[in-house]
Amino acid sequence: MTQSDEQYMDSLFAEDEVLERVMEGTRKAEMPEISIAPGYGRLLTILVKTSRAQRILEIGALGGYSGICLARGLDDEGKLVSLELKPEFAEVAKQHVTEAGHGHQVTYRIGDAMESLKQLEAEGQRFDFFFIDADKGNYLNYLEYALRLANPGALIVGDNTLLRGRTTDPTRSGPAVQAVREFNERIAQDPRLMSTMLPAYDGLAIAMVK
């Protein structure tokens, strides 16, 4: 059976037992199985470590898979703030992140992400790294808040920029599709950013704040 490019590349790496347990825990909790792809999870760790980010903002915790990948790139003093709409999801994520040894580095803010972002701005908080992986209809709003909360040189990463083919399908024009297309265009064209987009898995946008 022919493997996809992504399947071939993933097969080269040893199984990550910690993240496999996260996936199993997510399934047992009957949560959506929409965590970031393993290859991009590894990329998050590399990006955090090479950028020497000290403060990360994650929008969308789900079961903690991406949170662990992000936290793995932090040094001992680094912190991750994770925004999650559903308290039951945040509880699962917190358990998984704690079991992975990063519980002391991660805090969760539960509720509507737009409200949490307003609070973070009011508190004067700033971040070195942003990972956006939540409701697609607000992607452009999340990007604008990331720019407002960013330290110079911060990285902004957005997952699912292809929406399983819907983004590039001219017959699709639902609200989420339109929002992600606008997000992608802004990432590519905003003069405040240096950026690129990766087409593997379900698409990943990476931008640096100038």
* Contacts with 192 (C-beta within 8 Å, 6 or more apart), sequence order: 147, 209, 210
* Full-model pTM: 0.95
**175-189 and 139-149 helices, crossing angle to 10°:** 30
- Count of C-beta atoms within a 10 Å radius of residue 173: 10
| CB burial readout 20-51, b (16+ within 10 A) else e | eebbebbeeeebeeebbbbbbbbbbbebbeeb
Q: Give the model's confidence band at 31: pLDDT under 50 very low, under 70 low, under 90 confident, else very high.
A: confident
Q: Pull the structure tokens for residue 197.
A: 């987009």
Q: Is 177 exposed, middle or buried (0-12, 13-18, 19+ CB in 10 A)?
A: middle
Nearest one of 24, 107, 32 to 62, comparing CA atoms:
32
Looking at residue 122, what is its pLDDT?
98
Query: What are the tens digits of pLDDT across the range 89-120?
Result: 999 999 999 999 999 999 999 999 999 999 99
